[in-house]
Chain A
Amino acid sequence: MIRKTRIKRTWLAAAVIASGSLLATALPANAETGVSAREIKLGITLPLTGAASPGYSKIGNAMDAYFKYVNDNGGVYGRKVTLIQKNDEYSPQLSIAKTNELILRDKVFALVGPLGTANFTAVHKSVGLAKRRVPSLFLNTGFSGFSKKKSYPTSFMVLPSYAMEAKIIAQFLKENHAGKKLGIVYQNDEFGIDGMGAFKAAGTKFDVTIPYTSGSQSSATAQTWVSQLAAGGAEVVVMFGVTSATGALLGVSAAARYAPQWILGSVGSDPVTLRAIGVPVAVLNGAQTPAGNPSPNDTSDEYVKQFQEINTKYNTGVAFDDYVLQGMNIGLLTVQALRAAGKNLTRRGLVRAMETKGSKFASVAYSPLGFSRTSNVGHTGYYMAVMDATGDRKPFGGKVTLYTTDSGSGPVVVSTFKRPAMPAKGLPSNS
């Protein structure tokens, strides 16, 4: 009897504590959307640790470094740009939790550069980005599904889609590796399947096909990939996976003395990161890869030169590689977008600015941007590159031959597009 009363009392106490704490920590209803007179808050989710983090973890700090540079030079119409980074370890459900934090707690104005196909798909649906009208600019993923405006009304890509990339690789295989036995290793989720679908549509026949589950990459599993590829006699192997998987595959192949012609998908092909995770530079020599940007070592390129300077000053100690380049470029694009939206900054205004003015923005990549009222597509093409004995990337055939295409059944064509010049000192002055 006494015990029952005590239990009941405990229940009541529990209820009081629960309600009390919820009420006590309640924030007043707030109309703020991440923009104040002095600050614009942006958010990004990306893998800072975990199996997929090598390389990608640098993107956030690179973006931040660029924003700091812009802030030191007047910001965006006097407002400082603040980037809040959240680690999602490439796991979709963590992405959801962190994005909730960004939108509900940190109250960011927009998301920029969220990374990962499965991650953004989950976030968009679960957090309801479309319904909340939160813009998500310059996604760090090339899944062609994101280009569908109807499903993703407030999202904008920046990378060419995986379907585009696969089509360009397929064309390259036809022109330069006809008749050889082909193998492919790809990540078995929408990222890899996007590419595989395009290969199929382009008619590429692979003799050895190896899907791998994201997160399962390791030297042990890579052993099995190499055994299968070697057993199947693959002479040209396409690797459509993340950097750590690419590294595992190349490392194990070196140890097993299996040396096919490698074609590395752009997602996982940064030579600096690959070497950092243990791939001998000798293995990289001769590997071919689609690339959208100039090599990060090419200081004759005005974008690379300016970004390197900013990196040295604002991102000290970090080696300048593909990911740093990509991060800074996203920063550059973001600032142009914020400026284009005008001094009276709203989420709707930002989306409209992207749709109407986005295609003219300055970017380090060689291909044109495809933003419009009806399209979320960012860059639209690649050139093929080869790695040399120092791991640096040089254009295949000596000069950059740019191919552009779409994510559908359009043809792959050689393009003569000339990209806009880098704004003076890397500081956009567009409006």
Chain B
Amino acid sequence: MQKVIETLLIGLSTGSIYALMSLALVLVWRSTRVVNFAQAGQAMLSTYIGFEIASRSEIFWLGLVFAIAAGALVGAGVDYFFMRVLFKHATSGPAAVVAPVIATLGLLGLIRSIVGLTWGGEFKSIEAPASTDGFSVGDGTIPFSDLDVLIIATVSIILITVAYIFQRTNLGLALRASAYAPEIAQLAGIRTARTRTIGWSIAGAVGGVAGMLVTSNNFLSPYSLDLLLVFGFIAAVIGGLESMVGSVIGALVLGIGLTFILNYVGTSLVFIGGFSVLILVLLIKPDGIMAKGKARRA
């Protein structure tokens, strides 16, 4: 029984980080209709910047703030300098379908190379902001630590903030309108291009937090966020790329599920498990668990 609770709690902590990544992916999708594979690269860059600050000042939170700022800047920059140029040029031919996908992948590789050239590929680690010791319960220890509690708390705050922005503010309304019906939004006086950039900026900031949280318990390297991207994507698919709430739920479910596999079956099946879930969802309910039956074509 204790093992079940352990697994549940750790799964919750892991899943909440996936939730951030999948939220970022959904944000960009809803505002630009592009799945931004470079999200992992943006998050990585933001995390490295956060790492620099955190290791110099020895304050994790300062590093986190800088990571958020960097993420926002990089996100906006990517949209402004990259995506706009892309959409202007690649609009016809067989490659139009393919171009945005490949472009974001290329961007991921580019950011990774720049990070590697600047910081090198050696593993780096950040001092965790909270103890990683497990809680003692009776004789044994649950491997659920203060850090995990902190992660869940941080993610919850971010999710609530983003939800508030989207549902309760004018900015949020503009964001949703620009994504759903850009021409109508423009007619209504919303500057869609700028709004979209803001959307990317928020997504980038969220990604930066995800990167910092993952790294607080793991090593940082130019490849360390790849898995986060994949699982974030799977979570977004499970929940439905259209639904932010769905992607969060999908991420939590995925996190808990994968942790159960890890603890009860073995490490090597974790990836197969995740991949099978992805295929299953795509086969059975391609629009995602939360979707309301809209056709899923690119």
Contact = CB atoms under 8 A, between A and B. Distances in A.
Interface of A: 48-51, 53-54, 57, 213, 216, 218-221, 223-224, 227, 230, 244, 252, 254-257, 277-278
B156 interface: no
B121 A216 contact: no
Given A49-B221, A57-B122, A219-B217, A256 B141 contact: yes
Majority DSSP secondary structure for residues of A touching B: loop
B122 A49 contact: yes
Interface in B174-213: none
A220 B132 CA distance: 13
The 6 closest A-B pairs by CB, nearest first: A49-B121, A221-B267, A255-B132, A255-B133, A256-B141, A278-B125
Given A252-B143, A255-B132, 9 more contacts: A49-B221, A53-B122, A54-B123, A220-B267, A254-B133, A256-B143, A257-B141, A277-B123, A278-B125
A169 B120 CA distance: 37
A219 B267 CA distance: 12
A49 to B, nearest CB: 3
A47 to B, nearest CB: 10
Nearest to B145: A255
Contacts of A51: 123
A216 B141 contact: no
Nearest to A258: B141
Contacts of B123: 51, 53-54, 244, 277
Interface string B256-278: 00000011001110000000000
B161 interface: no
Nearest to A254: B133
B136 interface: yes
A223 B120 CA distance: 28
Contacts of A244: 123
B121 A48 contact: yes
Nearest to B14: A220
Contacts of A256: 133-134, 141, 143
A218 B122 contact: no
A255 B145 CA distance: 9
B167 interface: no
A252 B268 CA distance: 19
Contact of B134 (A54, A220, A255, A278): A255
Contacts of B120: 49
B218 A219 contact: yes
Contacts of A224: 262-263, 266-267
A351 to B, nearest CB: 35
Nearest to B266: A224
Interface string B117-130: 00011110100000
Contact of A220 (B136, B140, B221, B262): B262
Which residue, A48, A49, A50, A54, has most C-beta atoms of chain B within 10 A?
A49
29 contacts: A48-B122, A49-B120, A49-B121, A49-B122, A49-B221, A50-B121, A50-B221, A51-B123, A53-B121, A213-B267, A213-B268, A219-B217, A219-B218, A220-B267, A221-B262, A223-B143, A224-B263, A224-B266, A224-B267, A227-B143, A255-B134, A255-B143, A255-B145, A257-B133, A257-B134, A257-B141, A277-B123, A277-B219, A278-B125
A212 B133 CA distance: 23
Which residue, B143, B145, B217, has most C-beta atoms of chain A within 10 A?
B143
A220 B263 CA distance: 10
A166 to B, nearest CB: 25
B224 to A, nearest CB: 10
A228 to B, nearest CB: 11
Contacts of A213: 267-268
A336 B73 CA distance: 57
A70 to B, nearest CB: 28
Which residue, B120, B136, B141, B266, has most C-beta atoms of chain A within 10 A?
B141
A369 to B, nearest CB: 33
A218 to B, nearest CB: 7
Contacts of B133: 254-257
Contacts of B121: 48-50, 53
Contacts of B221: 49-50
